Structure 1
Amino acid sequence: MPVLKKMLSTDMLPEGLSERQRFMFFAELFEHFSNTGELDPAEDVPFRAAMNSIHVGTTMLGRCDGTFTTVRREKRQVLATNDDRYCLARNTGSRESRVTHRGREFTMRPGSMALLKLDEPFFAADGMNQKRFTNVHLPMATLKALVPDVDNLVARELESGGALSLAMDYSDLLLRHPGAVDEAGFAIANHLMDLAALGLGARRDVAANAQRGGVRAVRLQSVLMILQKRFAEPDFSAQKLAAAAGLSERYVNELLYEAGASFTMRLLELRLRKAAELLAVPAGRRISDIAFDCGFNDLSYFNRCFRRRFGLTPTAARGR
């Protein structure tokens, strides 16, 4: 499944522009970046905006943070894009946002979500001079097949928590670590659809599959990302990994074992691979320093593990 990543920020604009010129320049770029809506800048603070998105087939993950007071999807964008997807949006800002969609006005509190239809206009405003939100665009036909009465949930505030919040947390995580999408784009799109369907009230048979697939897969991905980031900590343990992921240690061990290797095996493999990478640098640092920096507390243990894993000693591996 094709993956496309986009970024846009006011930091990319030329220097020396007036505030009006900066916004007009950005608005033109934004129309090419994502022709899903328009922004109205705040008048009491300098204009600033940053957004990025990941497109996996027809599924899109995106987030936006900027000093604007309203977000609008006009009829012209609806006609120009012919977009037949739902938009699951979460207010990640600190203030309430008022939304008008399908003739209904409702409030999105911080952390809450809403389901919007991109084939109809919408308008979001709250008078504040900053907006921050995350959104996921999902194919309409697929979601309707999984949740037949999903249209009843459009244009109303959806409480935070459960599978919907997990879907948005997963999206935020991937937007911060977009490299993970390159390796598993198709699976990620499926997991997001599973979570959205589960959170929106999927049919009983669909919900069972989503619970087994989407939720566990997303939690496993989160666990693996934490492990990848913290494996070099000398005292890192399964207990600390579980605490960082907000899960029980038993559940984390089950996830890792189901995925093919225990916590201990994964931790050792990550440390040894990092050590091998550092040893490959000719005339680099001392072997003992490399071992300790990769999380090993005992040099003799490191030497034994390294030789067993790669078939040669750390000294022999130097510069290879």
Structure 2
Amino acid sequence: MPVIKKILSTDMLPQGLDDRQRFLSFAELFEHFSNTGELDPAPDVPFRAAMNSIHIGTTMLGRCDGTFTTVRRERRQVIETNDDRYCLARNTGSRAAQVIHRGREFTLRPGAMVLLKLDEPFFSADGASHKRFTNVHLPMATLRALVADVDDLVGRELESGGALSLAMDYSDLLLQNSAAVDEAGIAISAHLADLVSLGLGARGDLAQAAQRGGLRSVRRKTVLMILEKRFTEPDFSAQKLAAAAGLSERYVNELLYEAGASFTARLTELRLRKAAGLLARAGEHRISDVAFDCGFNDLSYFNRCFRRRFGLTPSAARGK
């Protein structure tokens, strides 16, 4: 399944543009970047915007942060794109937004979510000069097969918590660590569909299948990604990993054992691999600096672990 990553930011625009020129240039690029909707800039602050997205086949993960007051999808975009997907969007800003979709007007509080249909227009505004949101696009056929009467949930506020929030947290984490998608794109797409369907109310056998395929697997991948991001912290512990993942320490340890190694073994392996890579090109860096940079706070322990893992001392490994 093809994976495409996109980044768009006002920092990428030519220097010397005035604010109106910046917005017009960005709006033109945004139409090619997404063509999901249109933005109206905030009148009282300089225009700034940053977006990134990951496309896994027909599934898309996206995040947007910028100084604009409204987001809207016009009939023009509906006709031009012929997009038959649902969009699950989370308000990650600090203000409640007023949303209009499918003839309904409702409030979307910070942290809450909404399910939109991209084959119909929508409008969102909150009166603030800065908006942030995360969204996931999923094929309609997929969600309709998993969730009965899913269209009844479109165009209304969905409260935070449970599998829906986990799906959005997972998306945010992947957008920050996009390399993981290259290795497991198909599985990630399936896990997101499972999580969203659970959060939207999948029942019976479909819910059990989604529970097995999505929830635990996503939590395991999330735990591994957090560990791989923070393993160089000298005081990083299983307790801190559990807190970062929003899980119990016991559950985190179970997930790590399922993935093939305990917390301590995996942490030590990550640190040693990084140390080996640094030593191969360390130049004049001291062994102690390499050890501490990789999260070890005891040089003797580092030397013992390194020799046991690689069969030679850190000094002998330098430049190899």
Q: Tell me the TM-score normalized by structure 2.
A: 0.96
Residue identity matched to 2:287: I
Residue identity matched to 2:171: S
Distance 1:42 1:290, change over 3 A: closer
Q: How does 1:130-141 map to 2 (within 5 A)?
A: 130-141=130-141
Q: What's the counterpart of residue 174 of structure 2?
A: 174
Contact 1:91 1:109 in 2 (8 A): yes
Residue identity matched to 1:6: K
Distance 1:298 1:63, change over 3 A: closer
Q: What's the counterpart of residue 215 of structure 2?
A: 215
| Structure 2 stretches lacking a partner, 5+ long | none
Residue identity matched to 2:292: F
Deviations for 1:100-140, whole angstroms, at most 9, x for unmatched residues? 11111111011110000001111112322222111100010
- Measured in 2, the distance between the counterparts of 1:237 and 1:129 equals 40
SS of the residue corresponding to residue 107 of structure 2 reads strand
- Measured in 2, the distance between the counterparts of 1:154 and 1:18 equals 39
Q: How does 1:138-217 map to 2 (within 5 A)?
A: 138-217=138-217
1:78 and 2:94 equivalent? no
Question: Following TM superposition, by how much is the alpha carbon of 1:9 offset from its aligned partner in structure 2, in angstroms?
Answer: 1.1
| Structure 1 stretches lacking a partner, 5+ long | none
Question: Is 149-158 or 201-210 further displaced after alignment?
Answer: 201-210
Q: What's the counterpart of residue 288 of structure 2?
A: 288
Q: What's the counterpart of residue 42 of structure 1?
A: 42
Deviations for 1:237-273, whole angstroms, at most 9, x for unmatched residues? 2222212222111100000001111111101101111
**Percent identity between the two aligned chains:** 82
Question: Following TM superposition, by how much is the alpha carbon of 1:282 offset from its aligned partner in structure 2, in angstroms?
Answer: 5.5
Distance 1:39 1:296, change over 3 A: closer
SS of the residue corresponding to residue 261 of structure 2 reads coil
Residue identity matched to 1:314: P
1:237 and 2:241 equivalent? no
Question: Is 259-268 or 10-19 further displaced after alignment?
Answer: 10-19
Q: How does 1:16-31 map to 2 (within 5 A)?
A: 16-31=16-31
- Measured in 2, the distance between the counterparts of 1:71 and 1:260 equals 45
Distance 1:194 1:276, change over 3 A: same
Question: Following TM superposition, by how much is the alpha carbon of 1:58 offset from its aligned partner in structure 2, in angstroms?
Answer: 0.3
Q: What's the counterpart of residue 251 of structure 2?
A: 251
Question: Following TM superposition, by how much is the alpha carbon of 1:308 offset from its aligned partner in structure 2, in angstroms?
Answer: 2.3
Q: Tell me the TM-score normalized by structure 1.
A: 0.96
Question: Following TM superposition, by how much is the alpha carbon of 1:56 offset from its aligned partner in structure 2, in angstroms?
Answer: 0.6
Contact 1:278 1:284 in 2 (8 A): no
Question: Following TM superposition, by how much is the alpha carbon of 1:207 offset from its aligned partner in structure 2, in angstroms?
Answer: 1.3
- Measured in 2, the distance between the counterparts of 1:297 and 1:34 equals 47
Deviations for 1:158-213, whole angstroms, at most 9, x for unmatched residues? 01111001111111111111111111111111111111000000122121122222
Q: What's the counterpart of residue 314 of structure 1?
A: 314
Q: What's the counterpart of residue 11 of structure 1?
A: 11
Question: Following TM superposition, by how much is the alpha carbon of 1:80 offset from its aligned partner in structure 2, in angstroms?
Answer: 0.7
Question: Is 296-305 or 239-248 further displaced after alignment?
Answer: 296-305
Residue identity matched to 1:311: G
